[in-house]
Every structure is written in structure tokens, then in C-alpha cells.
Amino acid sequence: MSGHEQDNFDAKPSPGEESSPVETDGPIDPVDLIVGIDLGTTNSLVAVADARGPRVLRLGERLAGDDQEDDQEDLVPSVIRYAGEVVEAVGAAAAADLKIHPTRTVFSVKRFMGRSYADRRKEASVVPYSVVEGPRGLASVEIDGVIRTPQQISADLLSHLRDQASAALGQAVKRAVITVPAYFDDGQRQATRDAGRLAGLEVVRILNEPTAAALAYGIGSRGAAETIVIYDLGGGTFDVTVLEVMPPDPDDAEGESIFRVLATSGDSHLGGDDFDRVLIRDLIDEAIAGGDGTDRARRLAILREVGARAKIALSEADATRLVLDGSGVLPDVDRVLTRAAFEEAARPLVDRTLDACRRAVKDAGLEISKIDRVVLVGGSTRMPMIREAVEQWFGSPGYVALDPDRVIALGAAVQGSILAGVRRDALLLDVIPLSLGLETAGGAVAKLVVRNTMVPTKAVEMFSTSVDGQVNVALHVVQGEREMVADCRSLARFELRGLPPMPAGIPQIEVTFNVDANGVLGVEAVERRSGRRARVQVVPSNGLTREEVAQIEADSYTHAREDMLVHRVVDLAVNAALDVKWIQEALARVRDVLPASTTESVESHLAIVEEFIASARKDPRSVDADAFHAAKESLDKASMPVHEAAITRSLRGDGTEAS
Ligand code: AMP
């Protein structure tokens, strides 16, 4: 284990248009360029940070014809294939043909970094490539008679990453921060450093992965000292780290925060793969029991894949269907898997992670109540059961705003930018630079937290629905100073689902915006009657520069009058639509008792107002707010007799019930 490391609104039933933040990026001064590299067991990533904040580079190594998701391009499989002295393929290309060249393709080499062969004999026996005792007793890999140490193999991976990153940035990458697990000993750290050097990189720092995760969230850049836990559940490993964070000395302009590892714990053989297995345990048992060796391997490979897919589906849905077309090797299967059953079956696995948390907190000499916050890292922390367990155990929701697969690379880039001196320009403020709000009916914005509010801060507001019987409510969190969503920056969308059907305006949806000391925004929506709740978390300052903030502020002044008018038109349209609906319904009920002239007058007024509503929905800027308001007032006046007749009828009880 390492020691010190100095190192009244209506929520909309459907989503509207999303405003897109500016995505362009000028090159970083070459002298300042220090990339962050997450050299992972399974995947590796490269990120950079500039005034806009950290971002992972798309390394454009997409394979022709593969169906990789767009957003997966930035994850490079830590897989490499050799032919004698030659590197034959790296990354996705090597991973794709792993089964064709099992003995020449190296993966998970990180498990052997800086370790002796004697130490890693067991790990060595489960990989298809040949692990031998190399120089100085180190675990090494032999392919076609060529022996390579894990650092040489990592160097080949890093060279590939360096070249790809240089191409992506359009400038040569020479300096890097590389991350390692907190439990890496000196030998393993040195091996990682050597790998960087062999790849022609100046390794300006070896950074602990948990520290990187904390940096990505801006922890330690301001405020008081904190004790945090990093809960990292990946595909095959679980690591928990207790970190003490001390913010920089305010008198020292160049000062850095200090991150001290207080304790680590975990399980090197507990991860997402185990969750896949519990989901289809019976099928796996059957597959193991029957058939010959090759059959068994094939079946297990198929089952692993469907298991993982079903598990990922259950992170979003309450149930998923598992269909297996036996095609000879497996039985036909068609069953529904529920999240509830999955969670029950996986409970022992979750408990094992919590046991490790307990050990780590105890080893750190702390009580759980002393932990200020938990950061979630690793793809498996997308499972709701993990988020809930962590929240319950630690007593507060964990940080999940950043992508758990990318947070380490992002933090490494932040460290790189601090070391390069770029970070000084970053948006790390004690106040909220831009207002935070929620989209309301018609595409207007209700601001809950106004700009320049000090952090931490909290705001609560009640909202309702605009459509009868709405069971799902879409919430859209935005940032900016303008009145309309289209002129603001979209931060996040989420849904409050499963509301009991109620007439429009009846549900009471309490929305809370909570910005903590690190600038992380948590938004929670609760429907009072049913208790249904949903939430989302974001880092609002990500992707924004000071110049942009200033521009957004200036724009809000320029457009203030126009914005106010548009907002008024949108509100008028929402209210008028409810009036029109009510008047039409009432008119249908009492038409028989009204003189034709009254009916005709009301109908013509309705038509005028409906036209205004239609124009407002199409383009609120084209509508004259005063004329719209006048038309609505006239309709209200003209429809008085309808109103009176409806009330009379309902009092006499001789008609359909008045609303
Ligand atoms: P990592 O090693 O951090 O990339 O984590 C990979 C693991 O995360 C694998 O076991 C994946 O199946 C798992 N994973 C990725 N996305 C999800 C998701 N949405 N729900 C549950 N597990 C996921």
C-alpha cells in the first residue's frame, strides 16, 4: 500500500429540443500538454484537461464494420498481439481476434506488472498465453520464443495510446500522468514508470486511481479537508480506498492538494462477471454438467455474453426477457428475469463489497460517520442495487455524475493540467457561475438556483403536470441565463415514472436542487402522494470556460426584453390551452340551453385563441403577447354564460357532473 502521495410550473410529458453546448476545442499549448492515461487491466483511456475541463480523447481506432457504440471509441482494450518480434495488432483489433490467436494475444497484463513469477503462478495458469519466469524472476510472457516483461508489453500498449492521442490532438504527446491501483507496491509503480519511459513518454507522475477519481470531481480543489471513500467495482475486481484529502495551502499559489491513502481493501476476484453468473446460475450449472470440453467452453462463452447483456438491461428496466435459441449447443430458453429476483440473488455479492468497505474504514481507524462522501468508479456501479447499497451503508448518495468507466482517466488529466499549470484557468468557483433550472411546459425555464449563489446551496420548488393522467414525467435540468430552454445548456434529463394517473395540475412534484461544496449538483423529484422518486447528478461546470460564462451572461442582457416577452407568450399558451379545454367541455354539456348567438360568439373567440396557441407553440417569438393576452381576456368574458350555465346545471344535478 502506498503512503503519502504528493502527488409553478408544469413538467412536460415528453422531452423537447436539446440545446447543444459548444464542442470545439483549440489546441493546448504544446508545452502545457500533459495527458492523463488510465492504463487499465481491461481497457485503457487517454484524457486531457484544459480551461473547459477534462475530456476523454476519441482515439479513432474503430474497426471496419464493427458495431461498437460511438461512445465506446475512447476505450481501448488493453490487448496486444505479437508475432515474434513484431507487434501485430493492438486494442480493438487484437481483442476481436483473441479467440483466433489465443497464445499470441496478451490481455490483463496489468495483473503481472512488477510481480515475480513465483507470486503470480496461479494467475499465470489461467491465461491462454505463456507466462514464464523472466529476468530477475519477474513474471514474463513468452510468444514465439520471444520473452517480454509486463513493462515491455505495457510500453507497447502505451506507444499505441501515445500515437493515437497525438493523432487525435494534432500534436505530439510527450508527457503523461499514468494511474495505478492504490495497492500497487513500489515495484509495480516502478514497472509502470518504466513502461511509460520505454514508450517514449515522460511520466510526470504515477497517480493512484482513487486519487484520480477524486480529482475528476474537483475534490480537494477548495473548501475543507475531507475523508472520502472510493468504491471501485469493475468487471473482475473490487477495490475500496479510504482517502484523506487536504486542500492546498491558500498562501501557496502553486500549492497542490494532498491525497493520503488511509486504507485499501477489496477482492481481486469479485466484479461484474460474478453478477452475470448469478443471473443465470442454473443455466451455467447445466452447461458445465453436460457435453464435452469444447462444447462446454462454447456454451459458457455464449452464456457469459447473454448474462452480461441481461444484467445491463436490468440496470434500466424492472424486467428483461432472456431468449436462447439453443441451436444445438444449448437448450431453448425463454424466460423473464426481474430486477427484484436478480437483486435478491446477488445480495451476497453486494454484501462482500460492503464487508470490504467495513474493513477499509476500520483499518483507517475511522467510523462510517466520519466519511464525508463516496465516489463510485467502475462499470458495475451502474447497477441500481450497488448505488442503493452504498447510499444505505454510508448514509448519503455516492458521486455518480461522471461516467464510472472514464472517471479515472478524467482525473489523471486534471492532475496533468495541474502539473502543467493549466488548471489555474479552470472553473473552480465558490459560486455557481450560471443559473440552474428546470424545463417547464412550452419550453420555458424555471430557475431554481440563480447565478452567483455561494456553494453549497439547496433549493426546493413544487411542480405539477400539464396533461391529464400523466404517469411519467420527463424532467430536464438546464443551465443558463436565458428564459427559454432552447437558449440554455442542457445538463441532464431523467424521468419520474409510475405516478398514479391524476388530472393535470393535481400531482405535487417536489423538486430539490442540491449543489454541494465541490460544485456537484444533485436533483431529486418526489411525487408527494405516491412517494415515487427519481434523481440525477451532474457536474454543471464541466465543459464550460470562463469566457463562455461571460458570453452567456452578456447574451442574457442583450436578449432580456425579448426573452421576457417570449416567456410571457409561452405561459399564456399553457394557461390558454387549459382554458380552451375547459370551455369546450362545458360548452358541449350546456349547448342546448344557450342561445345560438352566444354559442357562435364563444366558438369564434375559441378559434382566435386556438390560433394564438398554435402560433405560440410553433414560434413564440412571432406572437404579439399583448394581442394574445387581449384575445384570452375576450374569450374569458364571452364564455361567462357557458360558465354560469354549467354551474347552474351542476347545482341542479340534472346533467353530467360539472368539473
Ligand atoms: P469496468 O471494468 O470498470 O469497465 O467494468 C466493466 C463491468 O461493468 C462489466 O462487468 C460490465 O458488465 C459492467 N457494466 C457496464 N455497464 C453496466 C450497466 N449499465 N449495468 C450493470 N453493469 C454494467
Convert the pLDDT of each residue in 487-496 to its tens digit. 899 999 999 9
Cα 235 to averaged position of ligand 1 atoms, centre (Å): 6
Mean pLDDT (whole number) for 213-238: 90
Question: Does residue 21 register a pLDDT over 50?
Answer: no
β-bridge pairing 43-50 and 53-56:
antiparallel
Helices 560-590 and 596-618: crossing angle in degrees, nearest 10, is 150
Better-predicted residue by pLDDT, 72 or 386: 386
Cβ 307 under 6 angstroms from ligand 1: no
Instruction: Write the pLDDT tens digit of every residue in 570-606.
Output: 889 988 998 898 899 999 988 889 899 999 999 999 9
Across 118-174, the runs of DSSP E, i.e. the strands, are 130-133, 139-143, 146-148
Q: Whose CA is nearest to atom 15 of ligand 1?
A: 379
Cα 383 to averaged position of ligand 1 atoms, centre (Å): 8
β-bridge pairing 79-83 and 130-133:
unpaired
Round to whole Å and give the CA distance between 629 and 125: 79
- Nearest by Cα to 386 from 398, 402, 403: 398
- For a ligand 1 pocket test, name from 380, 385, 402 the mutation site with the most ligand atoms within 8 angstroms of its C-beta: 380
Q: What is the pLDDT of residue 29?
A: 66
Q: List 38's β-bridge partners, or say none.
A: 45, 179
Across 517-610, the runs of DSSP E, i.e. the strands, are 521-527, 533-538
Mean pLDDT (whole number) for 151-160: 97
- What average pLDDT does the chain have? 87
* Structure confidence at residue 327 as a pLDDT band (50, 70, 90): low
Q: What is the pLDDT of residue 76?
A: 95
Q: Look up residue 578 and give its amino acid.
A: L
User: Is the distance from CB of 245 to CB of 220 less than 8 angstroms?
Assistant: yes
Q: What is the pLDDT of residue 291?
A: 67
Q: Whose CA is nearest to atom 8 of ligand 1?
A: 379
Cα 391 to averaged position of ligand 1 atoms, centre (Å): 19
Cβ 77 under 6 angstroms from ligand 1: no
Cβ 116 under 6 angstroms from ligand 1: no
Cβ partners under 8 Å of residue 65, min gap 6? none
Cα 600 to averaged position of ligand 1 atoms, centre (Å): 64
Cβ 380 under 6 angstroms from ligand 1: yes
Angle at 565 between CA 559 and CA 570, to 5 degrees: 120
- Give the residue carrying C-alpha cell 463562455: 548
User: Is the distance from CB of 576 to CB of 613 less than 8 angstroms?
Assistant: yes
72-81, 210-219, 349-358, 406-415: range with lowest mean pLDDT: 72-81
State percent of the chain over pLDDT 70: 90
Q: Whose CA is nearest to atom 19 of ligand 1?
A: 312
Question: Does residue 414 register a pLDDT over 70?
Answer: yes
**Closest atom, ligand 1, to C-alpha of 378:** 3
SS3 content of the chain, % helix, strand, coil (to 5): 40, 25, 35
Cβ partners under 8 Å of residue 478, min gap 6? 19, 436, 437, 438, 439, 445, 485, 488, 489, 490, 491
Mean pLDDT (whole number) for 52-68: 69
Question: Does residue 73 register a pLDDT over 80?
Answer: no
- What is the DSSP secondary structure assignment for residue 484, as one 8-state letter? B
Question: Does residue 15 register a pLDDT over 50?
Answer: no
Q: What is the pLDDT of residue 423?
A: 61
Q: List 48's β-bridge partners, or say none.
A: 55
Omega before residue 540 within 30° of 0, cis: no
Cβ partners under 8 Å of residue 127, min gap 6? 107, 108
- Give the residue carrying C-alpha cell 455479492: 349
Cβ 235 under 6 angstroms from ligand 1: yes
Cβ 400 under 6 angstroms from ligand 1: no
Cell numbers given for 535: 434523481
Cβ 315 under 6 angstroms from ligand 1: yes
Cell numbers given for 454: 455561494
Instruction: Write the pLDDT tens digit of every residue in 438-465.
Output: 999 888 899 999 988 988 999 999 999 8
Order across the sheet with 86-90: list the strands.
Answer: 86-90, 79-83, 105-107
The tally of CA atoms less than 13 A away on the side-chain side of residue 464 is: 15
CA 259 vs. chain centroid, Å, equals 24
Cβ 608 under 6 angstroms from ligand 1: no
Round to whole Å and give the CA distance between 583 and 577: 10
Cβ 378 under 6 angstroms from ligand 1: yes
Instruction: Write the pLDDT tens digit of every residue in 92-119.
Output: 999 999 889 999 999 999 999 999 999 9
Helices 339-363 and 272-279: crossing angle in degrees, nearest 10, is 150
Q: Roughly how many angstroms between the first and final C-alpha of the chain, as a whole number?
A: 70
Q: Whose CA is nearest to atom 4 of ligand 1?
A: 379
Cβ 405 under 6 angstroms from ligand 1: yes
67-71, 252-256, 530-534: range with lowest mean pLDDT: 67-71
User: Is the distance from CB of 212 to CB of 377 less than 8 angstroms?
Assistant: no
Q: Whose CA is nearest to atom 23 of ligand 1?
A: 380
Cell numbers given for 533: 422518486
**Closest atom, ligand 1, to C-alpha of 273:** 10
Better-predicted residue by pLDDT, 25 or 627: 627
Cα 104 to averaged position of ligand 1 atoms, centre (Å): 27
Question: Does residue 428 register a pLDDT over 80?
Answer: no
Cβ 383 under 6 angstroms from ligand 1: yes
Question: Does residue 249 register a pLDDT over 80?
Answer: no
User: Is the distance from CB of 76 to CB of 59 less than 8 angstroms?
Assistant: yes
Round to whole Å and give the CA distance between 343 and 416: 39
Residues labelled catalytic: 38, 110, 209, 232
Helices 272-279 and 281-289: crossing angle in degrees, nearest 10, is 80
What's the residue count for the chain? Answer: 659
Q: How far is CA 471 from CA 11, 233, 464, 467, 499, in A?
A: 12, 34, 12, 10, 4
Round to whole Å and give the CA distance between 143 and 83: 7
**What pTM was computed for the model?**
0.84
* H helices present in 183-254, as ranges: 186-198, 209-216
Cα 153 to averaged position of ligand 1 atoms, centre (Å): 25
- For a ligand 1 pocket test, name from 108, 110, 273, 312 the mutation site with the most ligand atoms within 8 angstroms of its C-beta: 312
User: Is the distance from CB of 179 to CB of 113 less than 8 angstroms?
Assistant: no
- Give the residue carrying C-alpha cell 434500466: 316
User: Is the distance from CB of 283 to CB of 262 less than 8 angstroms?
Assistant: no
Cβ 382 under 6 angstroms from ligand 1: yes
Round to whole Å and give the CA distance between 276 and 327: 22
User: Is the distance from CB of 231 to CB of 376 less than 8 angstroms?
Assistant: yes
Cβ 311 under 6 angstroms from ligand 1: yes
Determine which helix (DSSP H) or strand (DSSP E) holds 510, and give its type and residue range.
strand 509-515
Round to whole Å and give the CA distance between 342 and 331: 21
Cα 34 to averaged position of ligand 1 atoms, centre (Å): 28
Round to whole Å and give the CA distance between 141 and 38: 22
The dihedral region occupied by 585, where left means phi > 0, alpha psi between -120 and 50, and beta the remainder, is alpha
β-bridge pairing 489-496 and 473-479:
antiparallel
- Give the residue carrying C-alpha cell 470545439: 24
User: Is the distance from CB of 450 to CB of 435 less than 8 angstroms?
Assistant: yes
Question: Does residue 10 register a pLDDT over 50?
Answer: no
Q: How far is CA 600 from CA 364, 387, 587, 594, in A?
A: 80, 60, 11, 10
Domains of the chain: 35-430 (3.30.420.40), 436-544 (2.60.34.10), 560-652 (1.20.1270.10)
Q: What is the pLDDT of residue 240?
A: 97
Cα 48 to averaged position of ligand 1 atoms, centre (Å): 24
Cα 311 to averaged position of ligand 1 atoms, centre (Å): 9
* Structure confidence at residue 324 as a pLDDT band (50, 70, 90): confident
Q: What is the pLDDT of residue 5?
A: 39
**Closest atom, ligand 1, to C-alpha of 41:** 2
